[in-house]
Amino acid sequence: MTPLSSTQNPNSTASLPIIYNTLTCEKEKMPESFSHNTHSFNTISVSNHFTVADDRSNILAWLSPLDPKPRHQDIQDRRVENIGEWLLQTDEFRSWSASGGEGESGDAVLFCYGGPGVGKTYIR
Amino acid sequence: MIDSLCDQAGGQNVAVACFYFDFAARQEQSPTSILGALLKQLVVGLGEVPEEMTRAYEEQKNFIGGRRPRHTDIVKMLQAASSKKRTFICIDALDECVPEHRVKLLGSLNQVLQNSPATRIFVTGRPHIRPEIGRRLSGRVTSLPISTKTDDIIRYLHSRLEEDTTPDAMDSSLEADILRKIPEDVSEMYDM
């Protein structure tokens, strides 16, 4: 029975942060003789990693419930390669995307307008 | 568009965030949640969560049940995030946004622009919102009409013909007819 056996308990309902705290406490309390137990240390570092990743995704989810990524991927999948490439060659696009460097002014906003269905969403 | 900007950026110090308006989801797409979604992408692009954001997140936990970030907080965080890298913000179909939301959203984007003048915003929409965009974004707007180009239609048709599941029913004269007739009809439709 190692001090870390709680992670192997299938009935454990403890959430990851709690497990993490438990593990770090156990580690601190751990007698010297346990320090060679590499398995325990692996478990600790994995939990630590999850906790950081968890915090990050919690913060991102807190910022907004919306996620535009699926819509972007859907458009990416449906778009035909090179459609609307002409736009990238226009003077308007070029000066808009190149401006804004140090000391430069130029229009900050490029508004592309058109009626329904002309393909505004799919321009490359 | 976004992929082009990302390609162009090619790992340089550039961040790109996008948002697509959807008429069907117009109620959930509030100005705060939209700006939050843009901020989210910028944070991912930064690689690490800014310290002040982590602090704000920890603080809101003290409220019962937590508290969503306020609009002013999101704008401030967006201003800070977009100053760290050269930022491109893309917004598709702004005309599908609820008009009241649009006023607030454009006002906030204007605040971001004032704070980080190198930020570039790309917007698509129907022509009727053009004056409003000019007014709300301090007139720093270039407008460009988008029309369906015949080349694009032919490109699209080629790609669809390649995906044809019954190629035996196709011969070169039918293919030529398709490639001639459809762009003609589309041109009439959009009065190109």
Asked if the model's pLDDT at residue A11 lies above 50, the reply is no
Specify whether A10 is located in the same domain as A58: yes
To the nearest whole percent, how much of chain A has pLDDT over 90?
Answer: 9
Specify whether B128 is located in the same domain as B161: no
DSSP B15: E
Specify whether B124 is located in the same domain as B158: no
Specify whether A74 is located in the same domain as A103: yes
Kindly report, residue by residue over A75-98, the tens digit of the pLDDT.
Answer: 677 666 666 778 888 888 888 888
| End-to-end C-alpha distance for chain B, whole angstroms | 23
* Contacting B residues, span 73-132, partner chain A, CB-CB under 8 Å: 74, 77, 86, 88, 92-93, 113, 117-127, 129-130
Specify whether B173 is located in the same domain as B92: no
To the nearest whole percent, how much of chain B has pLDDT over 90?
Answer: 43
Do strands B120-125 and B14-20 pair parallel, antiparallel, or not at all (unpaired)?
A: unpaired
Those residues whose C-beta lies under 8 Å from the C-beta of residue A118, and which sit 6 or more positions away, are B146, B147, B148, B190
Specify whether B131 is located in the same domain as B154: no
Specify whether A76 is located in the same domain as A103: yes
The whole-number pLDDT of residue B131 equals: 93
A53: phi then psi, degrees, rounded to nearest 5: -60, -40
**Dist CA B85 CA B96 (whole Å):** 29
- Residue B145 covered by a domain: no
Q: Which of these, B108, B190, B103, B102, lies nearest to B150 by C-alpha position?
A: B190
Domain that holds residue B101: 2-136
- Residue B142 covered by a domain: no
Specify whether A95 is located in the same domain as A108: yes
List chain B residues with CB under 8 Å of A116: 126
Instruction: Look at chain A and report how many structural domains it folds into.
Output: 2
Specify whether B124 is located in the same domain as B156: no
- Of A63, A81, A113, the last residue of a domain is A63
Task: List, in sequence order, the alpha helices (H) in chain B.
Answer: 2-9, 31-46, 51-60, 71-84, 99-115, 130-136, 150-162, 172-190
* Contacting A residues, span 16-75, partner chain B, CB-CB under 8 Å: 55-56, 58-60, 62-68, 71-72, 75
Specify whether A86 is located in the same domain as A47: no
**Helix (H), strand (E) at residue B123:** strand B120-125
Specify whether B101 is located in the same domain as B185: no
List chain B residues with CB under 8 Å of A72: 2, 18, 20
Give the CATH number for residue B47. Answer: 3.40.50.300
Specify whether A93 is located in the same domain as A119: yes
Kindly report, residue by residue over B66-103, the tens digit of the pLDDT.
Answer: 888 999 999 999 999 999 888 999 999 899 899 999 99
Query: Is A11 near chain B, with CB under 8 Å?
Result: no
Q: How far is A122 from chain B (nearest CA, A)?
A: 8
Specify whether A90 is located in the same domain as A105: yes
Specify whether B23 is located in the same domain as B90: yes
| Beta strand extents in chain A (DSSP E only) | 109-113
Specify whether A73 is located in the same domain as A123: yes
Specify whether A54 is located in the same domain as A81: no
Paired residues of B142 in beta bridges: A110
**Dist CA B26 CA B87 (whole Å):** 25
Specify whether B63 is located in the same domain as B127: yes
Question: Which parts of chain B register pLDDT below 70?
Answer: 1-12, 148-149, 187-192
- Residue B173 covered by a domain: yes
- Residue B91 covered by a domain: yes
Specify whether A33 is located in the same domain as A47: yes
Specify whether B46 is located in the same domain as B118: yes
Specify whether A81 is located in the same domain as A54: no
Kindly report, residue by residue over A20-47, the tens digit of the pLDDT.
Answer: 333 333 333 334 444 444 443 434 444 4
ipTM, interface predicted TM-score of the complex: 0.77
- For residue B150, give the amino acid letter: T
Instruction: Look at chain B and report how many structural domains it folds into.
Output: 2
Phi-psi region of A2 (alpha: psi -120 to 50; beta: other; left: phi over 0): beta
- Residue B143 covered by a domain: no
- Residue B165 covered by a domain: yes
* pTM of this prediction exceeds 0.80: no
Q: How far is B169 from chain A (nearest CA, A)?
A: 23
Q: How far is A103 from chain B (nearest CA, A)?
A: 9
Partner residue opposite B69 with nearest CB, options A62, A93, A112: A62
Q: Specify the long-range contacts of residues A43-46, CB closer than 8 Å, at least 24 apart.
A: A43/A4, A43/A7
B22: phi then psi, degrees, rounded to nearest 5: -140, 120
Specify whether A42 is located in the same domain as A87: no
| Cross-chain residue pair A62–B54, CB shorter than 8 Å | no
Domain that holds residue A100: 67-124
Q: Are B147 and B190 in contact (CB under 8 A)?
A: yes
User: Mutation test of the interface with chain A: which of B124, B137, B191, choosing the one with the most A Cβ atoms within 10 A?
Assistant: B124
- Of A48, A63, A78, the last residue of a domain is A63
- Of A21, A44, A63, the last residue of a domain is A63
